[in-house]
Amino acid sequence: MDYIVRLDQISKGDLRIAGGKGANLGEMIKIGIPVPPGFAVTTASFDLLMQMHDLGEKIRLIINNINVDDTAKLLDASKEIKAMVLSHEMPLEVRLKVEESYKSLSDSGNSSSDLSLVAVRSSATAEDLPTASFAGQQASFLNVKGSDELVGSIKKCWASLFEPRAIFYRAKHGFAKSSISVIVQKMIEAEKSGVMFTVDPTTGENVVLIEATWGLGESIVGGEVSPDSYKVNKNGEIIDVQVSNKTRMRMRDPASNTTVELDVPQSKATAQVLTKDEILKLAEFGLILERHYGRPQDIEFAVEKGKIAIVQTRAITTKGKTKKIEIEGRRLLKGVGASPGAASGKVRIVLGKDDIAKINKGDIIVTAMTSPDLVPAMSRSAAIITDLGGRTSHAAIVSREMSIPAIVGAQHATRILKDGQEVTVDAYDGVVYDGRIKVDKSIEVAAEIPAAATKTKVKVNLAFVQRLNEIASKADGVGLLRIEHLITQFGVHPSKLVKEGRQEEYIKILIDGIRPIAEAFNPKPVWVRTLDARSDEFRNLKGGEDEPQEANPMLGWHGIRRSLDEPELLKSEFQAIKRMHEDGLTNLQVMLPFVISTEEVQKARRIACEVGLLDKAKIGIMVETPASVFIIEDFCKEGIAFASFGTNDLTQLTLGIDRGNERLANLSSAFHPAVLRSMKEVIDVCNHYGVETSICGESGSDPEMAKILVKYGIKSVSCNIDAINAIRIAVHQQEQELS
């Protein structure tokens, strides 16, 4: 492996080489996002140092012999390991490559005076992951100049892999091994900077949230200031602007090339940081990244002379929560809810690192500003309150990941609250109450995951027209629209209507029932399943007395086999869909149930061609029989547009179990290896041919099944109305694990 690689030579798949931060920087360059140029000192460089001095085994023994919840021992172990790493020189072959790349980045030739100012940033392999951000766990150094200072900063980044907070965080997230890359980029002399989320991480609201402050970004991510806050909807409209009082900022001192902390000039302290154009441009970049990665992003940016640079992106690792609690009591203070939740406990004022050790389990941490150094103690705390900081600070992110309620920007919390005082924290509304107040946590619920958060579409199964606007706003389409219920509500068997020359009535029934759904979801797809009428279900309708007596109607005359035997019914269904297409409802598509041969699809297409629908609507199939599984490739070659699993029938027919027989209910499971293997085979083949796969059977409403199918590569999951959010969450979690 190379010791050095340019950022424009790597992409998101190069986590092992350049760490999470570096891989994402390279990926952004590839898609045209403005990223400062630079290079990665790869994990091979760090690994070489470890191998040369057998450090890996020595460090492992130290870490394995401590309890990471024992703060004092954790601090001692970290100090010993960091000193061990820093005591060794950077391997010569690595140093030569670093110096060569630094000169090339600086365009300096051999003149050391022309070397560029650079930012040196850690990029661990267990960092900026879809499931854990590791926010602020390793070191970064700004305004670095000269080869010696650069080499020293890189070594400090290596050592920071063993900061107490980083050791603790990896242990709690189950990362036994981690390596580290170091990113070196040309320094952006930020006049303003900040953090952007493409979904509000606190509430789950589907808006772009931007927080910004003057100067370098350390102030905002370190929680040293209460930043401006802007919200932009996904249509590109600024919907909320909150300007804060920003008292301190970090800037480069030109004389010493060091980062210094300064008072914000009075004229700028209460002035809006970002212009309208900058807000909208940032939101545009955010949405590009969200679409590219297929999930909401946490993005850091800097602005120099009106030019925006994106310096980091990673997946949002937490889900917002909505509030369903009410607390009554005496209010002590108010801030901004940064990590939702509620808790009661004793106040522990933390003014410095020495105070961290006094935090006991269940205490409320009250501090001037959030800091990653608090992470080891945070696991013991019930909640966190800070004077300064915003919802995008590092510790706020970690609070959300650890599900610890946090209130930031409470201004005077460290002065108003007293050590040992008992309080109740409502981190939904950002309010602190006097005393312990009982809170029913059972009514705290996860917020809905927005549709933009998942690449796998989450659709809904429908039969009736009700709550349409609400459902259509949550789902990505209709994966199964049953028309049988429209007919049973009408009360007359469709065969009777056709025999009596009343086909127009049948067409009208279908249009009246389907149109409102198609309109509510347009342009999202609506898959209309053609009539799947079993003889026992339609016998009680007017005209149903001619239905045949079948020993097992579930295995009998229904689905596409019946539709082809009664082609006038199928023609009427196709006519209804065609007319709605002509009215602009082109999102309607046709799904054929219970197919077992490509000839059935061919015959159905000929009927669609007769009525003029074939060139308008896509046609797909239900996969409910072992036959359809075994010949799925033939169906794909036949040109089907999609395939959706009907798991009730697929399970019944695969296992040879009558799903209506209560004696066998304990044997019937869609999780049977044979059923799962059948679905995986279909998904693999369909993905090869570019055919969308979905599920609309009952198990599509089971979060565990949804996770399995996402792992297999399914493109959409269609569930019952009440399961939309649970399935969206399950899909989101699985997609994060796979990334």
| DSSP string across 133-154 | --TT-S-EEEEE-SHHHHHHHH
Question: Under CATH, which number does the domain 321-446 receive?
Answer: 3.50.30.10
Q: Reply yes or no on whether the pLDDT at 1 is more than 70.
A: no
Residues pairing with 314 in the sheet: 298
Instruction: Report whether 536 contacts 598 (CB < 8 A).
Output: no
pLDDT digits (tens, 9 = 90+) for 131-188: 333 444 567 888 899 999 999 999 999 998 888 877 876 776 555 567 899 999 999 8
Neighbours of 286 (CB within 10 A): 26
Within 13 Å of residue 602, how many CA atoms lie on the same side as its CB?
7
Contact 19, 125 (CB under 8 A): yes
Please, what sign has the CA dihedral across residues 260, 265, 269, 272?
negative
pLDDT digits (tens, 9 = 90+) for 624-652: 999 999 999 999 999 999 999 999 899 99
Asked if pLDDT for residue 107 goes beyond 80, the answer is: no
The phi and psi torsions of 698 (rounded to 5 degrees) equal -55, -35
**Do 196 and 286 form a contact (C-beta atoms < 8 A)?**
yes
Is CATH 3.10.129.10 correct for 4-186?
no
Q: Which residue has the higher pLDDT, 170 or 610?
A: 610
User: Average pLDDT for residues 114-140, to the nearest whole number?
Assistant: 66
What pLDDT digit, counting tens, does each position of 369-406 carry?
766 566 667 778 899 998 887 776 666 777 776 678 89
> Tokens 């050790």 correspond to what residue?
357
Nearest 5 degrees, angle CA 638-CA 644-CA 647? 130
pLDDT(569) > 80: yes
Contact between 646 and 629 (Cβ < 8 Å): no
DSSP E strands, 435-530: 445-446, 457-462, 478-481, 526-529
Give the mean pLDDT of 322-336.
Answer: 80
CB 714 within 8 A of CB 694: yes
Active site residues: 394, 696
Q: Please tell me the distance from the alpha carbon of residue 258 to that of residue 325, in angstroms, as a whole number.
A: 48
> What's the token pair of residue 653?
């027919």
- 8 A C-beta contact, residue 353 and residue 373: yes
**Helix/strand/coil for 594:** coil
DSSP state of 109: T
pLDDT value for 705: 94
Residue owning tokens 């909640």: 383
Residue ranges covered by each domain of the chain: 4-186, 192-315, 321-446, 454-738
Put residue 306 in one of left, alpha, beta given phi > 0 → left and psi -120 to 50 → alpha.
left
Q: Please count the helices (runs of H) and the strands (runs of E) in the chain.
A: 27, 31
CB-count burial class (<10 Å; 0-12, 13-18, 19+) for 443 = exposed
- Least confidently predicted of 103-112, 554-563, 696-705: 103-112
Give dist(CA 223, CA 407) in Å, integer. Answer: 12
The number of beta carbons lying within 10 Å of the beta carbon of residue 379 is 15
Residue 7's identity, in one-letter code, is: L
What pLDDT is stored for residue 332 in this prediction?
Answer: 95
**129 pLDDT more than 60:** no
Among 83, 92, 6, CA closest to 49 = 92
Residue 609 has a pLDDT of: 95
The helix (H) or strand (E) run that includes residue 685 is helix 673-689
Please compute the mean of the pLDDT values over residues 67-90 and round it to a whole number: 87
Cα separation, 197 vs 536, in Å, equals 54
pLDDT band at 519 (very low <50, low <70, confident <90, very high): very high
- Count CA atoms within 13 Å of residue 286 on its CB side: 32
> Peptide bond before 523: cis, by omega within 30 degrees of 0?
yes
Binned at pLDDT 50, 70 and 90, residue 457 comes out as very high
Q: Residues with Cβ < 8 Å from 409, sequence gap 6 or more? A: 226, 244, 335, 336, 386, 387, 388, 389, 390
**Per-residue pLDDT tens digits for 676-711:** 999 999 999 999 999 999 999 778 988 889 999 999
Cα–Cα dist 112/530, whole Å: 75
pLDDT at 463: 73
- What is the model's pLDDT at position 445? 44
Q: Hey, what CATH class is 454-738 in?
A: alpha beta
Q: How many CB atoms lie within 10 A of CB 16?
A: 14
Estimate to the nearest angstrom the gap between the alpha carbon of 628 and the chain centroid. Answer: 34
% pLDDT > 90, the chain: 52
- The pLDDT of residue 218 is above 90: no
Confidence class of residue 352 from pLDDT cuts 50, 70 and 90?
Answer: confident
Q: What is the mean pLDDT of the chain?
A: 86
How far is it, in rounded angstroms, from Cα 306 to Cα 192? 9
Q: Strands 383-386 and 364-367: what pairing?
A: parallel
Third-level CATH fold of 192-315:
D-amino Acid Aminotransferase; Chain A, domain 1 (3.30.470)
